[in-house]
Structure 1
Amino acid sequence: MGQKVHPLGFRLGTFKPWLSRWHDDQNYVKLVHEDLAIRKAIQENYEGAGISKVEIERGTGDVTVTIHTARPGIVIGRGGQRVDEVRGMLENLTKKKVHLNIREIRTPDLDAYLVGRNIADQIERRISFRRAIKRAISQTMDAGAKGIKVAVSGRLGGQEIARRVSEHQGSVPLHTLRADIDYAIVEAHTPTGKIGIKVWIYLGDITPEHHAHAAEPAAAAARPVEGASGS
């Protein structure tokens, strides 16, 4: 049986950047675990904020954390209060100065993680998985995607035997390296167990002149939020 390569890992170093950008031979394992702890802490503190990804860059004595979110108001808080709280928490965690940046995802329907999270939330509210998938596909295509594929697996509808169902619309060229494909795996927690959700979104081809902007999963879908950057 053929297996599919991870769409993001397949493009790392060519058209997709790493979410953690640093190099340290001596403390590599420690810093990898620290990155995981940073992402976990942010997700736990900002539950419901629509956080798609967290980028981490490390300098000699500081750490720059960039949060990509669909709801920057929740992340920033009144007068930037929550930003200050989270920055302090991360500085206690890393023992280094932390610069915290917030970037707004202006088109959540073009972000694979947020689309998957939306489907998972609907399934957890006992909405039909087929209805949730069709709605997500329709909204993503209306937002300007070239194609989308959604696969769900588990005890769908509470059935005794687990199965896998997939739906797609448009084109999703997984073998084309220049194809800008966003991909995410999300889990829905139901009374009968976990349901896995995979989402592939094809946003178009990355041309050489736009290669420098390939760091954004949805080219023009994210922008910095004024006053949200912390020093």
Structure 2
Amino acid sequence: WFANSKDFPALLQNDIKVRAFLNKKLVNAAVSKIIIERPAKNAKVTIYTARPGIVIGKKGEDIETLRASLQALMGIPVQLNIEEVRKPEIDAT
């Protein structure tokens, strides 16, 4: 994402908080990387994980609570995407 010099520090601080929150919350999910995009007045968070079932939960319950937590943390609507890492052993991160 890009921001003007006035908004950049606040958005960067927010991204750091989101990444720390997700890494703490999804410690057992083998998260490879987290991508945060900010189109207009909302956010798109993509989580790359080797174990998407842990992130999504039974019947999608966990992903909905995670989305609600992220919306409360960021203060804007959040679209949450989960991408599976097929071969986690060759992923360097």
Shorter-chain TM range is over 0.9
Q: Which runs of 5+ in 2 are unaligned?
A: none
Which residue does the alignment assign to 2:76? 96
Q: Deviations over 1:177-215 (max 9, x none)?
A: xxxxxxxxxxxxxxxxxxxxxxxxxxxxxxxxxxxxxxx
- Cα distance change of structure 1 residues 84 and 24 upon mapping to structure 2, 3 Å threshold: farther
CA distance in structure 2 between the partners assigned to 1:26 and 1:70 by the alignment: 37
Deviation at 1:48, TM superposition (A): 1.1
Instruction: Name the SS of the counterpart of 1:83 in structure 2.
Output: helix
CA RMSD in angstroms comes to 0.9
The counterpart of 1:44, out of the listed 24, 41, 54, is 24
Which ranges of 4 or more aligned residues in structure 1 deviate by more than 4 Å?
none
1:23 partnered with 2:25: no
CA distance in structure 2 between the partners assigned to 1:26 and 1:74 by the alignment: 38
Greater length-normalized contact order (CA 8 Å, ≥ 6 residues apart): 2
- Identity, % of aligned positions: 37
Normalising by structure 1, report the TM-score: 0.39
Q: Which runs of 5+ in 1 are unaligned?
A: 1-20, 114-231
Higher strand share: 1
Deviation at 1:72, TM superposition (A): 0.2
Alignment of 1:60-209 (within 5 A): 60-113=40-93
Deviation at 1:41, TM superposition (A): 0.6
Pair member with larger Rg: 1
Q: Deviations over 1:104-126 (max 9, x none)?
A: 0000111112xxxxxxxxxxxxx
CA distance in structure 2 between the partners assigned to 1:67 and 1:22 by the alignment: 20
Higher helix share: 2
CA distance in structure 2 between the partners assigned to 1:49 and 1:75 by the alignment: 6
CA distance in structure 1 between the partners assigned to 2:4 and 2:43 by the alignment: 13
CA distance in structure 1 between the partners assigned to 2:58 and 2:2 by the alignment: 32
- How many residues are aligned here? 93
